[in-house]
Structure 1
Amino acid sequence: MKKLILVLLISLLTQLKALAFHIVGGEIELVHIDGYQYYLNLVQYFDNAQTDNPGPDLSVQVYLFRNSDHSLIRTEILNLSSEQAVKYTNPECAIGSLKTSQVFYTAEITLEPSIFNEPEGYYAVWERCCRNTSITNITNPGGQGMAYVLDFPPVIKNGEQFINSSPQLFPPLSDYACVNQTYYTDFAGTDVDGDSIAYSLQLPFNSSSQVALPIPQPKPFVELIYANGSNINNIIPGNPSLGITSAGFLTVNPSTTGLYVFSVLVEEYRDQEKIGELRRDFQMLVIDGCDPPTPPKAEVRLPGETEFYNEIDIINYSASEEKCFEYLVVDKAGENVTLKAEGVNFDADVSEVFEFTSGPINDSGDTLRVEVCISDCPYIQNEPYIIDLIASDNACPLPQRDTVRMTINVEPPPNTKPYYLSPDANTIQVRSEAEGQVVALDELLIGIDDDPFDSLRFFFYAEDYDPTNYGMSLDTILDIYGRKEVKFSWNTDCKAFPFGGKNTFDLGIVLEDYDTCAFDSGDTLFFELEVILPPNNDPKVSGPAPDYSRQIKTNLLFDVFASDEDNDPIELTGLGNLFDFSNVGIDFADVQGNGNIESPFAWDLSCDNLGINKTTNYTLYFIADDDDYCNETNADTLAVQVEVVVPSNTKPDFQIEEFYSLSVNEAFELEVLATDGDNTDLLTLDLLSPNAAPASEGFSFEGNTGVGAVSSILTWTPECSLLGENRTPETYPIDFLVFDDNCPNTELRTLTVNFQIEELVVDYDIFTPPNAFSPNGDGHNDTYTLSNLTEEFYNLPPDNCDDQFQSIVIFDRAGGKVFQSSDREFVWTGDGSDTGTYYFHIEYLNTDYKGVITLVR
């Protein structure tokens, strides 16, 4: 915690580089790797057309907060990984003022289950200021920043590991929109976990301050201030204005030019429960002067028909029919048209349905005619399939397109399902076999297909295991068209196959034919199989007590033993409930041996190892597994509960006032003292930051440490330059910091002390210098000086900002100069001067003093 506080203070006080006029959008991602390892990514979209910032930063710092109380967990440094250009949909439509690259930052991080386990989840934040000054739809864009936020679930839910990666959004296109033309793009991403994603428009978040890299603040976040009538329902004005479907399809028909900023909220659901969300910031450029688009017009005409296909109709094809028809596209002369086919309710590749996939509309503006032929085999069994035939041109800024959606029902070629002649597939075959045999189960498996030219095959069907790894095989006895015979054999020898981990099997043997369309059509014979294994005694774990209670910053030590009556090879392992031993400072080696083994356990319960801030219970498991010759594993588990007690911590406090008054040119001294009620904590006292010290050569303060109490002397002789205009008093706040080392709950206190600097008030009239001295060596009045004298009125008046000492000159009766000094600490010894009367002249800037000095020897 102490390190974290210092990092925060350093971040608060470090002035970083340029403002973010070059960043036009982005988001934060979290991608699961393995176990509790993740990639934390930050994606930026960088404006390469600007010249103020020549390139992206080399690294970014992302802050992780807890949703339950919005406290900071830690920060992560993400390094620049890659930068690549974002493409236009149609490169020929490129304009010089719009060049975008995707900048990718990443770090591999660990989300420890002992920390990231709260049901409310967590969120990652990165902030930057400021936005492009040319943005149209927000006020003062150069003074508003950005905050990227990712909400993610805990890594433990309901006592089990919860694995999740955030949605991965596609790289946006470098496209622009045109006034009075429809702009569209599929903004949808993908989710590797198969979670549902919902999209909606939101106002982007602002940064928490106008410094280039603010320290991210926890929720709630402040949205941008929109201008010119813009709001959530009118982010980009148009007919329609900017909108997005819940599936992520973004559209707008803009009515006004400008640069518009918006945010897309991406919400992630699993089993109808929301588990996370992220926002993508982005900007859209709307320009004028684009050529009005002429979208293509696509139609389908079936053979023998004079009318075009109506999309509400279902086309039915028999197995023997030719399945071809005419696809016609009308567009502006000279346009190049690209053809594409997509399945709507199926995933198969259907690109082969077009005779060719692109071609121009000739200069006469004739219709492009293409023959489309679909497969004799339907893409879906037992129901119609839906296919989109899409024609796109090469208009700018985006291709114009038209789609014919066809619903087609294809009768597949006839096929008779194969079946088991023997044994009866309607009866589950139940078998128990002793270990160590090689057996042939039952009679031959005989498959029949009444289609005389269909070939047959048998194959295993099993969930969560491979039958061949457990000694099962199918050996072909006869294989001819329409008939196949196989023998099912099983080797139950433990020395050949590891039955110890699994000795019961649910198994299916599938009979299938090779029909024209390769559809699933067959018969399945089911088995319930068991290997009867020889007896094996359980091992035993002993040694530690069932419960321990220890204070944090102590140690826990004990020995763990495991034994096995059969003298089998045994393995002793240890693991934590929802945590890894190595991640919390536990030293325990897994060991193997025969019959009797042991291993010492040592746990350093330090703050760094545990990372906890309250009393926490840990469950440890010690497991002994034996391994007999069948590799059958029996286990004994000993659970140990450990309570790690975190005592309370008293905050340190300052023992000084919050206001002091100082005069210029007068030395001021203050003991800055702080104490701690715990008395044993090491305290560190310092200025809150280097910038907390005033710009004054007369100021001095050094940080210090102490146990239970800490102090350091502040000295300050203020200069006249610290006064306000016309010599008025000026107040200077100085921030002090004190923090303790009482991990894990390190406490700190800050205090702002106001020092008021005032002009020094001097009464020049009280100055009455001594008028005699006797340099005779008797130790009394042997020199003449006007400083450090016992009577204050004998001393030279102090300097203030309006009047300062300049010099003293001493003359003899004849006007000869016998002594002169510009040092207010001068000393005249009278050497070389006779007894008599002398005259002095003391000069200040605005005040003079003259008088007589009698020298007596």
Structure 2
Amino acid sequence: MSRILHVIFLPLLLLLLSGRAQATHIVGGELDLQYQSGSRYQINLNLYFDAIYGNPGALDNSLVVSIFEKGTNRRMQNLTLPLVTNTTVAYSDIACTRPILGTRRIAYSGQIDLPASQYANPAGYYAAVERCCRNNNIRNIRNPGDAGQTYYLEFPAVVRDGKPFINSTPRVFPPLSDYACRGELFYFDFGGKDTDGDSLVYELSTPLNGHSSTNVPKPAEAAPQPYSLVQWTPGLNVLNQIPGTPSLTVDGRTGRLQVRPSQLGLFVFGVKCSEYRKGQKISEVRRDFQLLVEDCPQNAKPKVNVQLPGTNKFYESGKDVLRLEPGQSRCLKLRFTDPDPNSKLTLSYNPVNFSAPLPAISITQGVVRTPGSPDTLVSQLCFPNCLDTKGKVYLLDVIVADNGCSLPKRDTVRVAFMGVPDPNSPPLVATTAGPGLPLRVRIGDLVTFQVTGRDPDADPVTLSMTGRGFTPASVGATLVQNSTGGQVSGTFTWRVPCPPTDKFFYEFDFGAAATTCSEAQAAAPLLVPIQIDYTNAPPTLTTSDDVTVVRRQLGESFTMSLEGLDTDQDMLTMTASVAGMDLAAAGMRFTPQNGPGRATGLFEWIPNCEVAARDQTEVTFRLQETTCKPVPKTHTLRFEVERPVAPDFLPANIFTPNNDKVHDFFELPNLPPDFCDSRLADIKIFSRWGNLVYRTTNRTFKWDGGGLPAGVYFLLIEYTDKTYKGTVTIAP
């Protein structure tokens, strides 16, 4: 379309300018309440201001919001909201900007506490800000220059059924800077968002006038309800706020505005957004705004045609059903144009009753009817080969839009079609494990072979591996895919372990899957069985001395050799151990020579008192084979230390120290021998009065009486574990 800016009718322009010279030019606004944490909330006021002709006196540095209890209208608190931002509202299409129309968004915000002890009334609460005045030249209400504005919201109690009830009201309503053209359809997304995910319902509402006036344009605080409504001009009402065909409507679910205005001028309108949770209304936000309707340059509607595959015939909506079948072209030629010069066209599509798969468009935009540009643009829309509507008729809207002002004009062709996908073969899987199956392996073998997958339609293939009755990873088997695409390979690797159970037969299933059009097809699994061959003959253990009890005296050594043999040539390990002590402490040493199929050991023992002190000392010789199901062999010997034989101990108790060479000395040649803890400690002789007359620790002593007088003396022989008592007589 042409971007020529036409002059507005002079009477309307004078009316706009004269009104703007006297008014504050507040365009509209709304409140919202957002939960922060605990009992803390943030309350926001968005006020929209005429950026071109606005009265700077209407730009307040702060505004006061008042909180009331519903039902009683009891004032809960006032809160001053400081101005925080002042930004420009952008047009939907910057190319449609008009020098006489601009809007600024003035944001006020503050923190407020809503403690549960004070805000628990089930009836709820409401907030209000009052400010005057509206634009003098608003056409659809009476005395607009004297009409005030009340920004209003309702919110629930912060506690319900004894529990915290957290809620934020709807917000982020997109501001409106666009204008409407008389006789042209105007639409705009006026819906908000809710952080709690509650349901939002929209409806038209009559804007609130309230209590502010030209005499008191900025009340110190808002008054409680009721708030008076603006008065519609004759013939207009809440459901006919902006006259047209259709008049202004709002989509109750999306908040989308729509009107084809029939009169020029500035029109105020109101929208109420109600918030529902679990079917119960919990809050309400009202929004005032205004819309300028102008005479706009004529904009012709663009045109799109859909050419049927393989023909010069154009598709007719409501009559033709396009059938997309295997072996046929799945592409449609799209021709789109616009009668207006310098038109920038945009091509798009919208699936009506399906979501996938979506077609592709070769060209989506271009300019027509300008020097060097064609009069008609040609694009191609191609459906994927995998399209399968499963016998249903799918609907696709093909849309061309121009860049006309104030909003683009569009042409839509609704294409009804059915699709049958191209035939698709499942993938195939093969291995190099054959042909002799099952594979026969032994413990410790490394099994490796290649797995290949191929798809006849060249769809991407993925290999897989599963085990029947087990998971491959649990036994250490892996399959690594080495390539991608329609033909892939993978490497199977398995170091055969000792099975954790008596299972020696494993079945691996190898598969290949290919995905086409979001649908997976799998090859029939290929089975590779693997048999673990395992036999085991127990080893033998022999000794050079076939005894079960070894008895030796202290210092008398014992030596024995052992030999272990295994016909399976498994690794053999020989060990020796003493229950309750180590070998060295028992005076023992064991020297093994381990190896595959044969192991030997040399055992040596020198008896000591450690063994002699024990009631029982047993040495266990163990021959262990390294295999899956080992059968160990053991041989046990008991070791004892023999005590020395002690002669009868009847010492002579009379001697005659008279130098006649007969019994001249007292001696004890038959003392019990020393043994471990039983050792001679002391020999003492006492007089009959208890005086020690002789003492020695030498068991080969000879006592000559020491010149003592004849008589009876007392003998005390002490060992480390016992004593002997007797008498000794010195004869004359």
- TM-score for the superposition, normalised by structure 2: 0.52
* Cα 1:268–1:371 shift into 2, 3 Å: same
Kindly indicate whether residue 201 of structure 2 is the aligned counterpart of residue 198 of structure 1.
yes
Post-superposition offset of 1:32: 3.6
Aligned AA (1:388): D
Q: Deviations over 1:621-677 (max 9, x none)?
A: xxxxxxxxxxxxxxxxxxxxxxxxxxxxxxxxxxxxxxxxxxxxxxxxxxxxxxxxx
In structure 2, how many angstroms separate the alpha carbons of the residues matched to 1:361 and 1:310?
27
Aligned AA (1:393): D
Aligned AA (2:363): E
The equivalences for 1:355-374 within 5 A come to 355-362=363-370, 366-374=375-383
In structure 2, what is the equivalent of residue 294 of structure 1? Answer: 300
Kindly indicate whether residue 401 of structure 2 is the aligned counterpart of residue 392 of structure 1.
yes
1:328 to 323, 326, 335: 335
In structure 1, what is the equivalent of residue 277 of structure 2? Answer: 270
Kindly indicate whether residue 314 of structure 2 is the aligned counterpart of residue 307 of structure 1.
yes
In structure 2, how many angstroms separate the alpha carbons of the residues matched to 1:155 and 1:485?
64
1:212 to 190, 194, 217: 217
In structure 1, what is the equivalent of residue 479 of structure 2? Answer: 478
In structure 2, what is the equivalent of residue 353 of structure 1? Answer: 361
The equivalences for 1:431-450 within 5 A come to none
Q: Secondary structure at the match of 1:515?
A: strand
Kindly indicate whether residue 515 of structure 2 is the aligned counterpart of residue 515 of structure 1.
yes
In structure 2, how many angstroms separate the alpha carbons of the residues matched to 1:170 and 1:276?
16
In structure 2, how many angstroms separate the alpha carbons of the residues matched to 1:486 and 1:217?
83
Kindly indicate whether residue 163 of structure 2 is the aligned counterpart of residue 157 of structure 1.
no
* Cα 1:143–1:55 shift into 2, 3 Å: closer
Q: Deviations over 1:380-434 (max 9, x none)?
A: 999776543322112222221122344555556778999xxxxxxxxxxxxxxxx
Unaligned runs of 5+ in 1: 1-17, 419-447, 459-471, 488-510, 523-857
Q: Deviations over 1:722-759 (max 9, x none)?
A: xxxxxxxxxxxxxxxxxxxxxxxxxxxxxxxxxxxxxx
Post-superposition offset of 1:199: 2.0
Q: Secondary structure at the match of 2:145?
A: helix
In structure 1, what is the equivalent of residue 151 of structure 2? Answer: 148
In structure 2, what is the equivalent of residue 174 of structure 1? Answer: 177
Question: Contact (CA 8 Å) 2:305, 2:314: kept in 1 or not?
Answer: no
The equivalences for 1:519-668 within 5 A come to none
In structure 1, what is the equivalent of residue 124 of structure 2? Answer: 121
Q: Deviations over 1:89-116 (max 9, x none)?
A: 3333322221111222223444333333
Question: Contact (CA 8 Å) 2:479, 2:492: kept in 1 or not?
Answer: yes
In structure 1, what is the equivalent of residue 349 of structure 2? Answer: 341
In structure 2, how many angstroms separate the alpha carbons of the residues matched to 1:374 and 1:285?
43
In structure 1, how many angstroms separate the alpha carbons of the residues matched to 2:180 and 2:475?
64
In structure 2, what is the equivalent of residue 793 of structure 1? Answer: none
Q: Deviations over 1:483-526 (max 9, x none)?
A: 99999xxxxxxxxxxxxxxxxxxxxxxx996624446899xxxx
Kindly indicate whether residue 66 of structure 2 is the aligned counterpart of residue 58 of structure 1.
no
Post-superposition offset of 1:312: 7.2
Question: Contact (CA 8 Å) 1:454, 1:482: kept in 2 or not?
Answer: no
In structure 1, what is the equivalent of residue 47 of structure 2? Answer: 44
Aligned AA (2:188): T
In structure 1, how many angstroms separate the alpha carbons of the residues matched to 2:101 and 2:44?
25
Kindly indicate whether residue 100 of structure 2 is the aligned counterpart of residue 97 of structure 1.
yes
Kindly indicate whether residue 237 of structure 2 is the aligned counterpart of residue 231 of structure 1.
yes
In structure 1, what is the equivalent of residue 539 of structure 2? Answer: none
Aligned AA (1:515): T
* Cα 1:299–1:477 shift into 2, 3 Å: same
1:81 to 75, 79, 84: 84
In structure 2, how many angstroms separate the alpha carbons of the residues matched to 1:53 and 1:150?
27
Question: Contact (CA 8 Å) 1:64, 1:75: kept in 2 or not?
Answer: yes
Post-superposition offset of 1:187: 2.1
Question: Contact (CA 8 Å) 1:477, 1:486: kept in 2 or not?
Answer: yes
In structure 2, how many angstroms separate the alpha carbons of the residues matched to 1:142 and 1:473?
84
Post-superposition offset of 1:46: 1.1
Greater Cα radius of gyration, structure 1 or 2: 2
1:240 to 230, 246, 251: 246
Q: Secondary structure at the match of 2:515?
A: coil
Kindly indicate whether residue 291 of structure 2 is the aligned counterpart of residue 281 of structure 1.
no
Post-superposition offset of 1:333: 3.5
Question: Contact (CA 8 Å) 1:301, 1:325: kept in 2 or not?
Answer: yes
Q: Secondary structure at the match of 1:92?
A: helix
Question: Contact (CA 8 Å) 1:474, 1:486: kept in 2 or not?
Answer: no
1:252 to 242, 251, 259: 259
Unaligned runs of 5+ in 2: 1-20, 428-451, 466-472, 482-487, 495-510, 523-732
1:31 to 34, 39, 52: 34
Question: Contact (CA 8 Å) 2:24, 2:58: kept in 1 or not?
Answer: no
In structure 2, how many angstroms separate the alpha carbons of the residues matched to 1:81 and 1:308?
56
Post-superposition offset of 1:345: 5.4
Question: Contact (CA 8 Å) 2:48, 2:103: kept in 1 or not?
Answer: yes
Kindly indicate whether residue 115 of structure 2 is the aligned counterpart of residue 112 of structure 1.
yes
* Cα 1:149–1:304 shift into 2, 3 Å: same
Q: Deviations over 1:811-853 (max 9, x none)?
A: xxxxxxxxxxxxxxxxxxxxxxxxxxxxxxxxxxxxxxxxxxx
How many equivalent residue pairs?
442
- TM-score for the superposition, normalised by structure 1: 0.45
* Cα 1:385–1:457 shift into 2, 3 Å: farther
In structure 2, how many angstroms separate the alpha carbons of the residues matched to 1:482 and 1:118?
71
In structure 2, how many angstroms separate the alpha carbons of the residues matched to 1:372 and 1:204?
48
Post-superposition offset of 1:245: 2.8
In structure 2, what is the equivalent of residue 624 of structure 1? Answer: none
* Cα 1:271–1:311 shift into 2, 3 Å: farther
* Cα 1:184–1:482 shift into 2, 3 Å: same
In structure 2, what is the equivalent of residue 566 of structure 1? Answer: none
In structure 1, how many angstroms separate the alpha carbons of the residues matched to 2:327 and 2:38?
55
RMSD after superposition: 4.3
Greater mean deviation of Cα atoms: 240-249 or 127-136 = 240-249
In structure 1, how many angstroms separate the alpha carbons of the residues matched to 2:462 and 2:404?
53
In structure 2, how many angstroms separate the alpha carbons of the residues matched to 1:293 and 1:121?
50
In structure 2, how many angstroms separate the alpha carbons of the residues matched to 1:513 and 1:36?
56
* Cα 1:293–1:121 shift into 2, 3 Å: same
